[in-house]
């Protein structure tokens, strides 16, 4: 498990003051788990950067090709709409496909759409 949960209990004389806190600790991660966390973070960063690099230049290029600002906004909005619609569908199949394969499929789809988009 990536994060080991430690529970610390604070006891009090009154029932209203008692609290339970759960703390996540990164100190218990093995080196393999650290590499996995770092690679997942880098993959997430790279997939976001792929579309962030396109965003500043796309409106000017779209305007040169005769698209209105509304049409340009719709292009960017459709990307988010498709993510909103497909996330639960892919999530449903994650148990059958496996999380690693689903992650690789997601990266592949992101790469293909980034290439097609820009």
DSSP track, the chain: --SEEEEEEE--SSTTT-EEEEEEESTT--HHHHHHHHHHHHHHHHHHHHHHHHTTTHHHHHHHTT--HHHHHHHHHHHHHHHHHHHHHHHHHHHHH-HHHHHHHHHHHHHHHHHHH-
Give pTM, 2 decimals. Answer: 0.50
Q: Which residues of the chain have pLDDT under 70?
A: 1-24, 118
pLDDT in tens, 49-59: 877 887 888 88
pLDDT for position 88 = 92
pLDDT for position 19 = 55
């Amino acid at each position: 498990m990536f994060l080991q949960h430690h529970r610390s209990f604070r006891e009090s004389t009154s029932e209203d003051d008692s609290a339970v806190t759960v703390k996540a600790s990164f100190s218990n991660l093995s080196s393999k788990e650290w590499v996995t966390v770092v690679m997942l973070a880098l993959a997430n960063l790279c997939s976001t950067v792929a579309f962030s690099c396109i965003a500043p230049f796309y409106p000017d290029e779209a305007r040169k090709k005769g698209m209105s600002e509304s049409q340009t906004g719709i292009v960017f909005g459709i990307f988010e709409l498709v993510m909103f619609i497909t996330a639960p569908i892919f999530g449903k199949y994650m148990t059958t496909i496996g999380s690693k394969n689903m992650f690789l499929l997601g990266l592949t789809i992101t790469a293909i759409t980034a290439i097609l988009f820009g």
